[in-house]
Amino acid sequence: FEPGFDSTYRAGLKISIAQGVAAERLDPKMNEFDFDALSRAIDPSRDKLFEYLGIQTLYERYFIKDLSQRILEVPQYFWMRVAMGLALGEEKSLWTSYAIQFYNVVSSLRYTPSTPTLFHAGTSHPQMSSCYLTTVEDRLDHIFKSFGDNAQLSKWSGGLGNDWTNIRATGAQIKSTNVGSQGVIPFLKISDATTAAINRSGKRRGATCVYLETWHYDIEDFIELRKNTGDDRRRTHDTNTSNWIPDLFMKRVINDESWTLFSPDETPELHHIYGKAFEQKYTEYEAKAANGEIRLFKRVRALDLWRKMINSLYSTGHPWITFKDPSNVRSPQDHVGVVHSSNLCTEITLNTSKDETAVCNLGSINIVRHVENGVLQKEKLRETTELAMRMLDNVIDLNFYPTPEAKQSNMRHRPIGLGIMGWQDALYVLGIQFDSEEAVDLSDEIMEYISYNAILSSSHIAKEKGKYETYRGSKWDRGLFPQDTIALLEEERGMHIEVERGSKLDWTPVREHVRMYGMRNSNCMAIAPTATISTIAGCLPSIEPIYKNIYTKSNVTGEFVVINEQLINDLRKNNLWNDQMLDKLKHYDGSVQDIPEVPQDLKDRYKEVFEIRPEWVIKHAARRSKWIDQSQSLNLFIKTESGKDISDMYIMAWEAGLKTTYYLRTLGATGVEKSTIDINIKYEPTPAPVPAPAPIPVLIPIVAPILASSLLSMPPLPTLDANSATSGDPNLNICESCQ
């Protein structure tokens, strides 16, 4: 930097904030900090932590502008404005102190709040929450109220998850008019139009995911909503869809049994119960249907319906596969309601009702920023976790709530979702390959450490500020922590959950503190996709292996070539990085597996995600899951056209007790620009090619008969084109609400 640059940079903070307040973009309270202290805390050298794509994204979309669209921030003012906005949740005498602490964590890229928080912290309308979950009642007035709520929530950058299972099915009787209902599909078309019409905060398109439970009579039409063929009046091209699947259906699939579809007006309890209670009531309704006591129902082969789900998921990317029973059985808030759906990115599992719109506030710890000299710095990780929990809790009190139902829910239960990102980066730095037991054990260990400190931090804040309103009777109050609830799921399901149960920490002090002082937050952890904030932080998204070592990333800002810098660093250490190596990487679309001169240890460490068997992604997720009180936004990647392999993968995820999955990614037509490569050069592959992925092992013996019969005969899935939702850019169609 030029001489005097630092002092000029620091002095401008007060001017920047004052201009934002004068333009009515920032809260007037932002002028009331100790700017001498804040300016001294500003570190201009942290601008150098950004990669080009990260700083470009901030410039295009995140920096505060006045009404004439003049940018009022530079990078460190941006981080300080976010920190100040979050510090407003503390006592006024502590505003400056906490702002500096928050600033040091976020500006060093150790922790990044979600996009809505970055957009709106400290502003005149601080809508900082990421996700909103609603339940739609089977009344016309409530259906259209829900459309209006969606518009308001989406306007302020909220991603939406809508539960539509209560709506009566096609052909069900409407008593007031004595005519048959048109079912749920026409209303989803209206919801789709509402989604497309809203431009969230002027910076992103609206985004909604609609959920339907698998026993709903309209489920077969629901599965086809994202198809590009058929009656367009029954298609929703701008809305994500997700199956909300009870365990009983998965058991019927495995055992090749029948499945009965009902209309919720004749089976009103089914959507609001789960586990053994659901199985009992469902079989009672099946008996009533057989006796002619239910008017509208349909029997199908469970495996045939499952095939339709898998086929549609492969060909359209929807509906996603999410599981009702694990989400409810393991919920800390089972005493005050039911989890009726997940959210837009499938990591939130909170109760909803007509009176409460569930809200979640998200942020992610950048794991790689806590690795120094090849060692994970746990004390640093503890400090980051504690400050992150405090920032997330403050969002609840400071937040602008677009609807009263959202405010009521968030203030009563105070859920937050602390997640992680930069996981693959950390493995690179630690020299560990993703598809190894060592990496799975590390996933377990790090998630346990974060969970330990997140729960303890929430309890510390409860001691200081008070417990959340509905704490009494919760699992926390009953002494049940996330790792304790796997046994409850086994009991309800009647099947073993194949997850290692060990622990490395002594949880006694945490349990004792919670027993004495309670919890500030009903939920503490959820792992979001982080497609955008990971770009800002310069790390790989969320918990995923790297998509490709070279690829083109597309987002609202533009298209950028992304290259794996860790790979380049290791190639340099081996004196292998040169123009020829770059050409070979382009030739093989980023893969190093067929480049002979690359050592085997680097080939193992730098496998791309489609070179890793999907069971490893599920193993990591299952081990993390035992420590998480919500869920994980888990993309699944598989290099196959086999319906059986994809089915096996999702059955494995269910058997492992996972609550939700997100996008299915299959290997489609994609590549990097090769115009700079001499087409006359022929590259010889490695003499010993990498073996084809082995079949996915089945975890539970009960699956064996069905795999030996029906699933083995599943027809090939349709060929994908380059525009398929499951191919190409790894960020294609990924929502940004939870980032």
Q: How far apart are CA 309 and CA 646, in angstroms?
A: 11
Q: What tokens appear for 97 in the block?
A: 């102190």
Residue from 131, 155, 654 nearest 349 by CA:
131
DSSP letter assigned to residue 320:
E
The answer to whether residue 345 is catalytic is yes
Residue among 608, 637, 601 nearest 621 (CA): 637
Can you tell me the distance from the alpha carbon of 535 to that of 739, in angstroms, rounded to the nearest whole number? Answer: 10
Among the listed residues 73, 347, 356, 608, the single catalytic one is 347
Q: To the nearest 10°, the Cα dihedral for 520, 524, 529, 535? A: 60
240, 343, 361, 549: which one is catalytic?
Answer: 343
347 in active site: yes
- How many other CB atoms sit within 10 Å of the CB of residue 655? 23
Rounded (to 5) percent helix, strand, coil in the chain: 45, 15, 40
Nearest to 717 by CA among 650, 661, 641: 641
Which helix (H) or strand (E) is 113 found in, with range?
A: strand 111-113
Burial of 146 (0-12, 13-18, 19+ CB in 10 A): buried
Rounded (10°) CA dihedral 77, 78, 80, 84: 120
Of 586, 593, 629, nearest to 482 (Cα)?
A: 629
Which residues, 6+ apart, have CB-to-CB distance to 227 below 8 Å?
235, 312, 315, 316
For residue 547, report the phi and psi dihedrals to the nearest 5 degrees: -70, -60
Q: Where are the beta strands (DSSP E) in 114-226?
A: 131-135, 159-163, 170-174, 179-182, 199-200, 204-205, 208-213
Q: What is the largest CA-CA distance in the chain?
A: 88
State the sign of the Cα–Cα–Cα–Cα dihedral 32, 34, 36, 38. Answer: negative
Burial zone of 471 (CB within 10 Å; 0-12 exposed, 13-18 middle, 19+ buried): buried
Please report the DSSP string for 394-438 in residue order: HHHHH---SSHHHHHHHHHH--EEEEEE-HHHHHHHHT--SSSHH
> Using an 8 Å Cβ cutoff, are 397 and 89 in contact?
yes
Of these residues, 73, 166, 328, 345, which one is catalytic? 345
Q: Where are the alpha helices (DSSP H) in 530-593?
A: 533-537, 565-573, 579-587
Angle between helices 95-107 and 378-398 (to 10 degrees): 120
**Is residue 704 within a helix (H) or strand (E), and if so which, with residue range?**
helix 704-707
Q: Which tokens go with 122?
A: 């400290």
d(CA 587, CA 613): 23
Q: Strands 416-421, 550-555: parallel, antiparallel or unpaired by DSSP?
A: unpaired
Cβ atoms of 379 and 361 within 8 Å: the answer is: no
- What single letter denotes the amino acid at residue 100? I
- Distance between CA atoms of residues 36 and 17, nearest Å: 13
Cis amide leading into 718 (omega within 30): no
Burial of 251 (0-12, 13-18, 19+ CB in 10 A): middle
User: Using alpha carbons only, what angle is made at residue 11 by residues 8 and 12, rounded to the nearest 5 degrees?
Assistant: 90
Amino acid found at 706:
I
Active-site positions? 343, 345, 347
